[in-house]
A and B are shown apart, each in its own frame.
Chain A
Amino acid sequence: MADAAGRVIRRTEYILLAATAILFVVGLMAGDTFFFRLATESLIFGGLALAVDLLLGIVGLLSLGQALYFGFGAYVSALLLKEVAPSFWLATGAVLAASAVVGYLSSFIALRSKGVYFALITFGLAQVAAKTVYNTRELGASDGIIGIPIVVIGTPFGGLDTANAPVFFLVTLGVIALLYGLTKYLLATPMGGIWHAVRANEARLPFIGFDTLGPKRAAFTLAAMIAAVSGALYPMLRGFVSPELLYFSTSGNAVVTVVLGGVGTLIGPLFGSALLTGLRSVIGTWTEHHQILIGLIFVAVVVLAPRGIVGIAIERAKRRAGEQI
């Protein structure tokens, strides 16, 4: 990636980290739980948006059904915590492994097509999964799974209580930061280069010696795993899961978050998630129809700043550095 873009992304990371640190201290002093839970939620949905951005912004695949993997992670995690053992490591570990398998297998269906058809297939797959969960009594049907026990995370330094809002916020921050770091690392490998090249000109890749299906499958599987691990944290925060997690509104919100934050920037989606979660909460105190306002904001961003917030900053920095856009 060009220098100016790298600098802006680095700066955005610092800004987010500094803002998080400041708000964390303020929240602690105020002794406010609601605020920490809201911030944790924004991180969890930020992880889902990160997965969407890996596919959309890097590989150029618009997934309209990423909630499938997010919901899968949430349900597997909820079931294990409730029925097997309230263990953070068991839940996240099992979700990681299971989502790798599910992601890889579903890539065979989703990647049969490109462009709009890919978007439709991912949408359809998620709808099928949502309806199936909704109609399965063993999974709680429309009620979902409630009564998930409080999880204490066993670490060599003692237990971390997820019921403690600031503590669980830090745990979630750690998990999402790991996912972000892993994705960013991969983008700096030749495989990341191939992903960018798929978006830039997929048809040319075979003529420089690379089959494109394999790298696309790898990205698709990785995006499923990122979404699922983020989802696995959800029942620990909320104590329940419900079929809404798999609905199109969840997938669609993730796409909105990515576009608002900045497609292809990875940090943009996390930024966008913080912004949108905050907005929704604030607007939600005035009116129940907060989705209308979010929708208007989305339209405004697409029309006025299609590259999103971080995208605009990158564009400006490039212009200042005299780089071509």
Chain B
Amino acid sequence: MNEPAASPILRASGLSIHFGALRAVDDVSFDVPRGGITSIIGPNGAGKSTLFNLLSGSLKPSAGAVRFDGTDITALPPARRLRRGLARSFQITNLFFELPVRENLRLACQYYEPRVKLWLPVARNTRAADRTEQLLESFGLGKRAATPAGALSHGEQRRLEIAVTLASQPKLLLLDEPTQGMSHGDTADTEKLIAALARDTTVLLIEHDVDLVMGLSNRVIVMAQGRKLTEGTPAQVRGNAEVQAAYFGDKP
């Protein structure tokens, strides 16, 4: 199963999903190379989040296939995809709001432990516990560990969302608008964080903030109305007339 390192970590081929007459994602193909940051941009309704749902297993495509790390994962449910190393965050914060911050992370780290330990006291799961403390520390949430996730500030919740997604040490991290609703300061911090994450793993990013995308990404995929418009380096994409028309709103 070992593919050469140059092979893409993720390959979408001919992905489509139709809701009635609406072609939310229509015949989209692309590769995500290993390492670095690949971004998907596009105006509202371009099908970016739907595409993420297809990649992470929330939705089953009407047609097309997803290969991850050399294996066809089109039919796998989300939990199995995660266990293979594909993790995603959510645009709308999606946490265990009633549970403390530490428990949110501990649950996400439980993945490291053998299944039988699910039935043994939590204290026996030392690897998950260590990783939890590590994440609390590195995401600056240590002081908030006992607070229910629902009582955190918006910025803290967004950070926890990424920390929970990162807990499984994924090979590919899908980040769905991580800076959504953040202040300028928080956005700058998150930008640094994403750049740091990309040193250890591959990042596929959906982002509204075009400046942030252009500054961070190695590759950019542009979507409009469910289709892939173009892809390339940030410079190539910026120079593309179609993109100018569809996304930046300029008349060609």
Contacts and interface: CB of A to CB of B under 8 A. Distances in A.
Bind each other: yes
Interface of A: 2-3, 185-186, 188-191, 193-194, 196-197, 199-201, 203-211, 323-324
Contact of B125 (A190, A197, A207): A190
B168 interface: yes
Contacts of A201: 94-97
A157 B10 CA distance: 67
Given A190-B125, A200-B99, A207-B56, A2 B146 contact: yes
B122 interface: yes
A264 B96 CA distance: 16
B81 to A, nearest CB: 9
Interface in B111-127: 111, 113, 117-122, 125
Given A189-B120, A189-B121, A323-B146, A209 B97 contact: no
Contacts of A186: 119
B35 interface: no
B121 A188 contact: yes
B110 A196 contact: no
Contacts of A194: 107, 110, 118
Given A208-B167, A209-B82, A200 B96 contact: yes
A200 B98 contact: yes
A190 B146 CA distance: 17
B147 A324 contact: yes
A190 B114 CA distance: 11
Given A193-B103, A197-B107, A211 B118 contact: no
A190 B127 CA distance: 13
Residue of A190, A194, A196 ringed by the most chain B CB atoms within 10 A: A190
B122 A207 contact: no
Contact of A208 (B100, B107, B118): B107
Interface in B86-112: 87-88, 90, 94-100, 103, 106-108, 110-111
B78 interface: yes
B79 interface: yes
A193 B106 contact: yes
Interface in B137-191: 146-148, 151, 164-165, 167-168
B42 to A, nearest CB: 23
Nearest to A199: B98
The 6 closest A-B pairs by CB, nearest first: A206-B78, A200-B96, A209-B111, A206-B79, A208-B108, A209-B82
B83 interface: yes
A186 B90 CA distance: 30
A318 B195 CA distance: 40
Contacts of A324: 147-148, 151
7 contacts: A189-B122, A190-B120, A196-B96, A200-B96, A201-B95, A206-B57, A208-B164
B100 A2 contact: yes
A12 B111 CA distance: 34
Nearest to B152: A324
Given A207-B56, A211-B79, A190 B122 contact: yes
B232 interface: no
A3 B145 CA distance: 13
Contact of B99 (A188, A189, A196, A211): A196
A21 to B, nearest CB: 29
A186 B117 CA distance: 12
A186 B121 CA distance: 8
A190 B118 contact: yes
B45 interface: no
B98 to A, nearest CB: 5
A186 B103 CA distance: 16
Contacts of A193: 103, 106-107, 110, 122
Contact of B118 (A191, A203, A204, A206): A191
